[in-house]
Amino acid sequence: MSDLGNWLAPNEGKWTKEEEIYLLAHVPIYGLAHVARRLKKPLYVVTRKYKGLTSNVGA
């Protein structure tokens, strides 16, 4: 079953610092869908990561 999860969302939990910086810099300009295509990640994964990076919880 984990193979199916890996096939559906490869590298879902692995984000490099460069990807995070790209995400934060380009989403306001191009939007989530465009950035998801560029990063070759599913839209729901990119959306979740962006919300996690931009939320003020614990700040």
Q: Which residue has the higher pLDDT, 38 or 6?
A: 38
pTM for this model (two decimals): 0.72
Q: Closest Cα partner for 20 from 44, 42, 39?
A: 39
Q: How far apart are CA 59 and CA 54, in angstroms?
A: 11
Domain positions in the chain: 16-59
pLDDT in the model for residue 14:
87
Q: How far apart are CA 38 and CA 34, in angstroms?
A: 6
pLDDT in the model for residue 44:
96
Cα three-residue angle 58-55-47, rounded to 5 degrees = 140
Other beta carbons within 10 Å of 10? 12
Do residues 23 and 40 make contact, with C-beta atoms less than 8 angstroms apart?
Answer: no
pLDDT in the model for residue 56:
78
pLDDT at residue 37 is higher than 80: yes
